[in-house]
Each structure stands twice: as C-alpha cells, then as structure tokens.
C-alpha cells in the first residue's frame, strides 16, 4: 500500500468542507437521528425499512446469523420482487408515472414507459418465458444492450423466480459461455445488436458462438430469445432461436405472480476475483430489495413524485442491477436509461439528456467525470443543468480534483456530491454521505450508512486509530449481502470471511484510511484485482488469457495508474522461442495480435493498454511473480526493493527492454 499511502498523505491535507444545502437538509428523507437509532438496534432498523416493501407472508425473524457466514434475512417472509418494483405502484394509483425515459443512441430514438406499461410488458414477458418452458429456479442468461427490454427481461425472470445472470454486452463469447456453463443457464435473452458510437454493434453472433461453446462443455441452451433492435442480419437457428416480438407481444398482459421466499435466489452476477475464474455472486430476494431500495431512497434523497433520476451505469454491472433496476423501481422512481456512449453524436450528449428530461439526481463514475474534465468545461456549459440537486459517484476512489470539478461544473458549485462505496458482493451502498445530513469532503466516502458497520483495521483485526490506514472490514451482516458464491461455499468462506475469522468480519479487499475526524478514505484494492474505469478486472484472468495464445510462454499483468481510467492494464509477456526470430525479436504485429486475443477471450475492456515483451519475469525464490516491481516499471518509477528476487538481475533486463521501447501503448 506504499503508493496509496503517498497519495493519501496528499489527500489528508484536504480541508474543504461543504455543508448540506439548507433546503435539502430541511426536507431530507433521512436525518441524523437514524444513525443512533440504527446503531442501538440494527435488526430493528432494517425491519423498519423492510416495511417499505409489500410482503405476502411477513417474516418471523429479521436475521438468522446462527451459521455464519451464511446469513438469512427476513426468515419466513414471502414477496415478489417484480410486484414490488412495478405492480404495487400501479395499484397505488401511479400507473401513469413514467418509470423509464429510455433514450436510444440515435438521436430522436426515444421511448417512455409508464409504470402501467412496464407492468404489462413484464407480465407479457413472464408469460412468454413460461411458454418457453422457464420455471422457478431455472437460470436465464441475459446478454443485452441498454434497452427497456433488458430491465423487462430481468423483472420477468424475478417475477417467475428464475434467477438471471446478466452478462455485460461488452464481454466476449468465451466470457458469456463460461458464465452460462457455471450457472447452468438453459435460456439466453439477447438482441440482434445495439447502437454504440453511432453504429450498430452486433451481439447475436457472440451468443451463437457462446451457445456452441457451452454445449461443448455440457451445458445445453434450449432457447435464445432475441430482441430486434438494430435490424441487422442474424444467423437463425429455427430449433432454438425465437424473436422477442413474436413470443412476447401476443401474450396476455395479466400474470398472477407467485410469492417467493425472502431467501429465494434473485440473481447471480459474475465478478473478477484473484483467480482466473470469475466468482458468481449470489443475491437473494427480500434482503436485497430492502437494502437497495432503502439506500437508494436515503443516499439520493429520492422524492419519487418529483425527481428524475439517472444512473449512467450499464445494466451488465451490479450498479445497473441495484441502482437502475431494483432500487429505483422498488421506490417508484422516474428514471432515464441511455443506450449509448457519452460522446455520440457529440460530447455534450449526456448534458443534453439532463436538460431535456430535467434530471435531478445524477449518478456516475469518476472515470466518466475525469473524461468530461478533459473534454472541457465549455461542453456542459452549453446546457441547462440547473435541475440537478444530488450528484453521486461510484466504482473507484474519486480524486478531490474530479470531485470539485463535478460539484462546480455539473453541480453549479452548490449540489452535494455523494461518494458511494460498495461492491458487487455488498449489493447495496455501504459507505456514503447522506446529502441532507453529512457535510462533503472531497475524496472521502465519509462513514458507514445507518444500519451498516464498517471499520479500518490492522492485520490482527484491531481498529486503527484516526489518522492511520489498514484494511476495510464490515463488522456485521447487512440485508443485501451476498449469500454465497454460486456453487462454491468454500471459496465464499475463504475469500471474504477467513482473514478475520476470529472476529467474524467481512474482508472487502480494499485498503482504507481514517482521517483525523474518523472519516473513511478508500485507497483501492489490496489484492490482485484491478479497477479499470470502475470495472473490476482480475490480473490472473488476463494472464490466463495471454498464456492461452500459442506464442506466449508466460505473462504477468499489473494495474498501472492512469489519469482517466484510474488504472490501466499493463502486461509483461515472455514469448515462446518459436515465436521469435533468431535474435529473439518478436514480429511487429504480435502486440496487436495479443491485445486482440485478450479482447476476444474476455472482452474489449480487458485489452491491455500496454504490452511489453520481456526475457524474464521477476520472481521470488518460491516462484511468485513480484507484480509490485512490474508496477514500478509500468508507472515509470524507480524500481523498488529487489532483494527477495530469485535473480536480482531480472529487473535490469526488463528496464533495458523498456528503455529500448519494446512496448506498445495506445
């Protein structure tokens, strides 16, 4: 954590403070007293929040923590997530309220869906899935662009109790196949394609390839349900492929929803860990919906009657699940959903959308904020952003410069910024200011939300004093917590609960510090996980992808600091002898070939920014690659202590290569 400590000592000098705006504080959904009340009786506090939802059978017990780390929340309770997100708002007389202002990437390609329309669509889709043989407990993979049908498909699955696994549309066929196989999905919902950067981008071919690969690995996909979005040509398999409009549109818009057990699986979301195999994070129904809906209401101070909320995350990530689908819809929010990229057809597209729909709450990632900073203040200045009253940030530490720019340029110097820390595993926001209560400090996520217990501890699990750093832990269960890893209870225990087993703490894998006021500053991962543009990537997974290339003998990957994306993927590769010429030089186009290979194996987001061909890798005597030293090279720093290397001259060889320019950066 050396680099982070240096960064932190700069951050610790941050003395700017922003009080909550008086108007917001006066009418805030949550006030200061919530912290104390929740602390005195956390289970009572969460039970009170659970009352915000509609239940069939009420729970008998709030939390069963008799067999840690396997939690059960709202034991004995029954509910339906889709009914809570849709039907109940219609029943309460809000059927005409817009649920989703959908904005396609091509200009003027928009659709508004009211809650009543959304209910009809979800019911139709649920009826269609039933007709296609989907039953409670079956797994459905969803590989889609940002379309209303994506949310509809998720909600239809939830309605039936068929856990979905949404795979980000930017992931490769291989990544999709491995997820389909791991969770045993027999149905895939997809689209012909979506619009990205002004052009149609195909999805169906990747599904065709993934389904074939899954079959080779013993997982048969019976049905592929395809939304027609772009109208591009697709290969069609009559026995397997079904058009969404043919299967769904003719269905009845009535559907009797079954009540599911509070612990019934809602979805599996794959995320990178420290090994090559992604982890299937399992979220269940009742606790997840309580955690996401309450935090969405509290952290963004949501007023569903008047606010227009926009979370820019893709539905393929957990943020899109918790704060685009389940949290906001459970709260009856009106929200924007945008299909495309921020610069299509011009760099002001997002701000144009904010102006058009009068967005009041805006939630995005630091990497996007830094990109806008680069594009210049004159871009947002052309639009009226005065509707915005709360700004949120998620996915990676927000540096004070980006925080200030966000507050000043997007928030007119007066809108509070909530920096929200959480993870795929936590399901819900855990550490964040409350905009009507907590003052803002640029760069700090401040403190745990009411009902949540977080601390920064040392190696022994002892709380560190203010002004010191250590590891972030969560000290008690919370409703939206992951329940296990799909099919792998042991890895679940090992990854999150073994490090502080004697204390019963959840180990988040993040380094953090407490400042002099005890407020928390997140410092990034302490394991072999990178954070590129707020997306989690595993070094090992990319290394495996590189090594699977016929010309690669060995590979080591590190995340190097990057001004825009937070971290960038840098790879060091040893080639097989057969791939080099007599002088040991590599063919010129090989680096491009390797980068493309990673994109094919995992997805374009994992493409290394830089690949260096090296003769050796720095290893300890026990054979462990010392990535810390490679990171020094990638970040153009003096190389640190090499005394534990088996061969201390290796770093000289690598440095020599770097100086000679044997790398490719773009």
Q: Residue 550 and residue 90: Cα distance in Å, rounded?
A: 57
The string of DSSP letters for 444-499 reads --BSBPTT--EEEE-TTSPBPPTT-EEEEEE-S--TT---EETT-HHHHIIIIIST
| Token pair listed for 103 | 């904005």
- Our CB check for ligand PRX shows the closer of 127 and 319 to be 319
Q: Does 394 bind ligand PRX (CB under 6 A)?
A: yes
How many angstroms separate the Cα of 629 from the Cα of each of 497, 541, 591, 635? 29, 20, 22, 10
- Our CB check for ligand PRX shows the closer of 78 and 271 to be 271
Per-position x/- string for 443-482, each x denoting binding to ligand PRX as judged by CB under 6 A, each - no binding? --x-------------------------------------
CB 124, min distance to ligand PRX, A? 31
CB 229, min distance to ligand PRX, A? 26
- Our CB check for ligand PRX shows the closer of 87 and 510 to be 510
Q: Does 195 bind ligand PRX (CB under 6 A)?
A: no
CB 319, min distance to ligand PRX, A? 5
Q: Does 606 bind ligand PRX (CB under 6 A)?
A: no
Binder of ligand PRX out of 364, 399, 531, 567 (CB under 6 A): 531
- Our CB check for ligand PRX shows the closer of 354 and 508 to be 508
Query: What are 512's strand-pairing partners?
Result: 470, 522
Alpha carbons within 13 angstroms on the beta-carbon side of residue 646 total: 11
Q: Residue 84 and residue 8: Cα distance in Å, rounded?
A: 42
Binder of ligand PRX out of 182, 396, 515, 519 (CB under 6 A): 396
Radius of gyration of the chain (CA): 24
Q: Does 420 bind ligand PRX (CB under 6 A)?
A: yes
In the region spanning residues 309 to 368, those forming contacts with ligand PRX, defined by CB under 6 A, are 318-319
- Our CB check for ligand PRX shows the closer of 342 and 443 to be 443
- Our CB check for ligand PRX shows the closer of 171 and 572 to be 171
Size of the site for ligand PRX (CB under 6 A): 22
- Our CB check for ligand PRX shows the closer of 321 and 389 to be 321
Closest alpha carbon to 98 in 329, 349, 314, 311: 329
Distant-in-sequence, close-in-space partners of 143: CB < 8 Å, separation ≥ 6: 166, 167, 169, 171, 176, 188, 189, 190, 203, 206, 207, 210
- Given the rule CB under 6 A, which of 370-378, 391-399, 492-500, 634-642 is the region that contacts ligand PRX? 391-399
8 A C-beta contact, residue 396 and residue 568: no
Q: Does 289 bind ligand PRX (CB under 6 A)?
A: no
| Token pair listed for 491 | 């890895």
Longest CA–CA span in the chain (Å) reads: 77
Binder of ligand PRX out of 59, 406, 422, 471 (CB under 6 A): 422
Q: Does 421 bind ligand PRX (CB under 6 A)?
A: yes
CB 464, min distance to ligand PRX, A? 18
Q: Does 519 bind ligand PRX (CB under 6 A)?
A: no
Distant-in-sequence, close-in-space partners of 259: CB < 8 Å, separation ≥ 6: 56, 57, 78, 79, 80
Calculate the CA dihedral of residues 144, 147, 153, 159 and round it to 10 degrees: 140
CB 272, min distance to ligand PRX, A? 8
- Given the rule CB under 6 A, which of 91-99, 179-187, 260-268, 508-516 is the region that contacts ligand PRX? 508-516
Binder of ligand PRX out of 88, 525, 597, 609 (CB under 6 A): 525
Pairing state between β 390-394 and 417-420: parallel
Binder of ligand PRX out of 77, 320, 470, 509 (CB under 6 A): 509
Q: Does 663 bind ligand PRX (CB under 6 A)?
A: no
Can you tell me which residue has the tokens 């030293």? 629
- Given the rule CB under 6 A, which of 78-86, 203-211, 393-401, 600-608 is the region that contacts ligand PRX? 393-401
Query: What angle (nearest 5°) sits at the alpha carbon of residue 386, between those of residues 383 and 388?
Result: 110
Q: Does 295 bind ligand PRX (CB under 6 A)?
A: no
Q: Residue 429 and residue 437: Cα distance in Å, rounded?
A: 16
In the region spanning residues 258 to 277, those forming contacts with ligand PRX, defined by CB under 6 A, are 271
8 A C-beta contact, residue 44 and residue 36: no
- Given the rule CB under 6 A, which of 4-12, 183-191, 394-402, 548-556 is the region that contacts ligand PRX? 394-402
CB 10, min distance to ligand PRX, A? 16
Residue 309, preceding peptide bond in cis (omega within 30° of 0):
no
- Our CB check for ligand PRX shows the closer of 474 and 611 to be 474
Q: State residue 136 phi and psi, 5-degree precision.
A: -50, 130
How many angstroms separate the Cα of 427 from the Cα of each of 31, 492, 509, 510? 23, 15, 15, 16
**Footprint of ligand PRX (CB under 6 A):** 271, 318-319, 394-397, 419-424, 445, 508-510, 522, 524-525, 531, 536
């Amino acid at each position: 954590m050396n680099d982070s400590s240096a960064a932190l000592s700069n951050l610790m000098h941050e003395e700017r403070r922003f009080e909550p705006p008086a108007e917001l504080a006066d009418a805030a959904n949550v006030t200061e007293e919530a912290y104390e009340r929740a602390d005195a009786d956390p289970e009572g506090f969460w039970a009170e929040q659970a009352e915000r939802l509609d239940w069939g059978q009420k729970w008998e017990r709030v939390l069963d923590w008799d067999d840690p780390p396997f939690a059960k929340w709202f034991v004995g309770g029954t509910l339906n997530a889709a009914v809570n997100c849709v039907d109940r708002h219609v029943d309460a007389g809000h059927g005409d309220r817009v649920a989703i202002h959908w904005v396609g990437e091509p200009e003027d390609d928009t659709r508004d869906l009211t809650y009543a329309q959304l209910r009809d669509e979800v019911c139709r889709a649920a009826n269609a899935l039933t007709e296609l043989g989907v039953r409670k407990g079956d797994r459905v993979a969803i590989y889609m662009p940002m379309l209303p049908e994506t949310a509809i498909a998720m909600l239809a699955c939830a309605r039936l109790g068929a856990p979905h696994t949404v795979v980000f549309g930017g992931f490769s066929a291989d990544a999709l196949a491995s997820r389909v196989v791991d969770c045993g999905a027999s149905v895939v919902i997809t689209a012909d394609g979506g619009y990205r950067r002004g052009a149609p981008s195909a999805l169906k071919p990747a599904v065709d390839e993934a389904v074939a690969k899954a079959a080779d690995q013993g997982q048969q996909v019976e049905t592929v349900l395809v939304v027609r979005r772009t109208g591009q040509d697709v290969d069609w398999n009559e026995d397997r492929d079904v058009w969404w409009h043919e299967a769904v549109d003719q269905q009845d818009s009535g559907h009797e929803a079954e009540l599911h057990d509070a612990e019934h699986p809602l979805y599996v979301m794959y995320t990178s860990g420290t090994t090559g195999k992604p982890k299937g994070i399992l979220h269940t129904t009742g606790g997840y919906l309580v955690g996401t809906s309450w935090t969405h209401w509290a952290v963004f101070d949501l007023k569903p009657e008047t606010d227009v909320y926009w979370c820019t995350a893709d539905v393929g990530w957990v943020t899109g699940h918790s704060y685009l689908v389940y949290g906001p819809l459970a709260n009856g929010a009106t929200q924007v959903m945008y299909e495309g990229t921020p610069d299509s057809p011009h760099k002001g597209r997002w701000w144009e959308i904010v102006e058009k729909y009068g967005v009041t709450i805006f939630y995005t990632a630091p990497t996007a904020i830094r990109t806008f900073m680069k594009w210049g203040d004159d871009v947002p200045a052309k639009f009226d952003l005065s509707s915005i009253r709360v700004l949120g940030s998620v996915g990676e530490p927000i540096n004070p410069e980006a925080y200030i720019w966000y507050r000043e340029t997007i928030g007119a110097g007066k809108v509070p910024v909530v920096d929200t820390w959480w993870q795929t595993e936590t399901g819900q926001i855990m550490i964040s200011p409350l905009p009507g209560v907590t003052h803002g400090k640029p760069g700090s996520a401040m403190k745990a939300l009411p009902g949540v217990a977080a601390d920064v501890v040392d190696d022994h699990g002892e709380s560190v004093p203010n002004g010191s750093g250590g590891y972030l832990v969560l000290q008690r269960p919370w409703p939206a917590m992951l329940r296990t890893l799909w099919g792998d209870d042991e890895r679940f225990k090992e990854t999150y609960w073994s490090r502080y087993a004697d204390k019963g703490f959840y180990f988040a894998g993040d380094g953090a510090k407490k400042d002099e006021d005890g407020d928390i500053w997140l410092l990034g991962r302490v394991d072999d996980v990178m954070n590129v543009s707020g997306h989690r990537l595993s070094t090992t997974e990319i290394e495996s992808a590189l090594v699977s290339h016929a010309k690669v003998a060995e590979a080591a990957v590190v995340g190097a600091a990057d001004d825009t994306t937070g971290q960038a993927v840098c790879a060091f590769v040893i080639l097989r002898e057969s791939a080099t010429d007599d002088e040991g030089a590599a063919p010129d186009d090989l680096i491009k070939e390797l980068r493309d290979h990673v994109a094919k194996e995992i997805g374009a987001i994992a493409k290394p920014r830089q690949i260096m061909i090296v003769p050796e890798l720095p290893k300890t005597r026990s054979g462990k690659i010392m990535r810390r030293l490679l990171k020094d090279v990638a970040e153009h720093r003096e190389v640190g202590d090499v005394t534990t290397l088996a061969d201390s001259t290796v770093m000289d060889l690598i440095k020599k290569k770097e100086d000679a320019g044997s790398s490719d950066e773009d």
